[in-house]
């Protein structure tokens, strides 16, 4: 099976399995989305959704969050891990949003990437899920699955993102990145599938004899 055929199969199969793709991080506005995505780094969405209600009851916008003491933020988000860095980043980006953007989250990838604690992946999620702009956020899970399915040989998430954008239509990116995450969690986990178990892996590589070792980003 050629790479373009594998990509077509993956897209069709994921559309069958996940016709709807609700955003897994609970939020009511783009500021809350930005903070939730920041918190999700090296943390599960489930855990983030447990701590954000208390955080957003303190402040659900940049104007209010800038006045919440860093230590208060820290104590609320501590279960998410990396709390010292994340609490400072949330406080810092809130001040910058007020100073530079009237408290609004900018609808610009490069502007988002200049905010404390906001990398390319986080900015891409906000752009795609918050503003509906085409983006293909790639985390380590998507990177691993894309390699298993023969969609990239990228040794890091930057190359993998480029390769996925090349083989999938732009109008599928925002939905597809969530579909891959959902599928990975349900059928193609790091321990549950070694490239020879789940439906997509088997279809893409029916003759794979040994377990597939993905290049770590």
Burial (CB count within 10 angstroms: exposed 0-12, middle 13-18, buried 19+), residue 38: buried
Interhelix angle 45-58/30-39, nearest 10 degrees: 130
d(CA 196, CA 199): 9
> Which residues 6+ apart lie within 8 Å of 32 measured at CB?
52, 56, 60
- Residue from 121, 158, 165, 209 carrying the catalytic annotation: 121
Is the separation of the CB atoms in 148 and 212 below 8 Å?
yes
Query: Would you state the torsion angle of the CA atoms of residues 115, 25, 180, 217, taken in this order, to the nearest 10 degrees?
Result: 40
Tallying the residues shown for the chain, one arrives at: 217
Q: Which residue in this structure is represented by tokens 């955080």?
A: 55
> Which residues 6+ apart lie within 8 Å of 161 measured at CB?
136, 137, 138
Active site residue 139: yes
Is the separation of the CB atoms in 77 and 35 below 8 Å?
no
- Residue from 28, 139, 165, 175 carrying the catalytic annotation: 139
Catalytic positions are 121, 139
């Amino acid at each position: 099976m050629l790479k373009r055929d594998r990509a077509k199969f993956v897209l069709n199969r994921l559309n069958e399995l996940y016709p709807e793709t609700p955003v897994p991080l609970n939020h009511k506005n783009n500021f809350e989305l930005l903070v939730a995505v920041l918190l999700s780094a090296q943390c599960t969405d489930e855990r983030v959704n447990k701590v954000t209600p208390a955080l957003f009851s303190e402040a659900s916008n940049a104007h209010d969050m800038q006045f919440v003491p860093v230590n208060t933020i820290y104590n609320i988000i501590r279960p998410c891990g990396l709390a010292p860095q994340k609490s400072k980043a949330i406080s810092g980006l809130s001040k910058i949003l007020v100073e530079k953007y009237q408290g609004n989250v900018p609808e610009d990838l490069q502007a988002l990437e200049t905010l404390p604690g906001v990398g390319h992946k986080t900015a891409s999620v906000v752009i795609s899920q918050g503003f509906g702009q085409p983006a293909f956020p790639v985390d380590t899970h998507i990177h691993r699955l894309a390699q298993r399915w023969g969609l990239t040989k990228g040794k890091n998430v930057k190359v993998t993102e480029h390769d996925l954008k090349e083989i999938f239509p732009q109008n599928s990116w925002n939905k597809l990145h969530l579909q891959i995450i959902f599928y990975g969690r349900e059928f193609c986990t790091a321990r549950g599938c070694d490239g020879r178990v789940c439906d997509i892996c088997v279809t893409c590589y029916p003759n794979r004899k040994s377990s597939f070792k993905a290049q770590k980003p």
